[in-house]
Amino acid sequence: MTAAAALRAAVQAEHAAIYVYGVLGAQTSATAQPELHAALVAAYAQHRARRDQLVARMRDLGETPPAAAPAYDVPPRLDDVAVVREQARRVEAACAATYAHLVGSSTGSLRRWAIGALTDAAVRGLTFGAEPEVLPGT
């Protein structure tokens, strides 16, 4: 995979993460589950920032960033905290996998940035109950 293709895939993963976290946050009570809600809101903000950074990098390379899809898959029932946490873990695992590809497809400052993004996704996955992995995203 080329660096440009890996960047494109990372932008697409971030579009999906933003959508899913928006839905998860909207379906989680800030009063009944304040810690979970705060973690979802923080994840949403971080993924928006990462998406914006990726889009800027693509534009700096003369690439056109991909647009977001109109919608992404989420379970029909999100009234169970365990389901919400599982969806958040899946989002972080998908982002970690995408960033692992970007690490392997890039060099220099882009690779260093991708390592930070991969680490961030892996740690955030732990927040939602993921098991620690020796090599996250692989």
Q: Which residues are CB-contacts of 103 (< 8 A; sequence separation ≥ 6)?
A: 111, 114, 115, 118
Amino acid 20: pLDDT: 97
Count of beta carbons in the 10 Å neighbourhood of residue 132? 9
Confidence band (pLDDT; 50, 70, 90) for 28?
A: very high
Q: How many residues does the chain have?
A: 138
Helix axes of 81-105 and 108-127: crossing angle, nearest 10 degrees: 160
Which carries the bigger pLDDT value, residue 134 or residue 121? 121
Q: Is 2 helix (H, G, I), strand (E, B) or coil?
A: coil
Amino acid 1: pLDDT: 77
Confidence band (pLDDT; 50, 70, 90) for 75?
A: confident
CA distance 41 to 26: 9
Write out pLDDT tens, residues 78-121.
Answer: 989 999 999 999 999 999 999 999 999 999 999 999 999 999 99
Q: For each of the domains in the chain, give its residue range(s) and CATH number, in order of start.
A: 3-127 (1.20.1260.10)
For a pLDDT cut of 70, what percent of the chain falls above it?
A: 100
Task: Please determine, for residue 134, whether its predicted confidence score (pLDDT) is greater than 90.
Answer: no
Task: Please determine, for residue 138, whether its predicted confidence score (pLDDT) is greater than 80.
Answer: no
For the ranges 13-17, 41-45, 53-57, 130-134, which has the lowest average pLDDT?
130-134
Torsion of CA 48, 120, 57, 88, to 10 degrees: -40
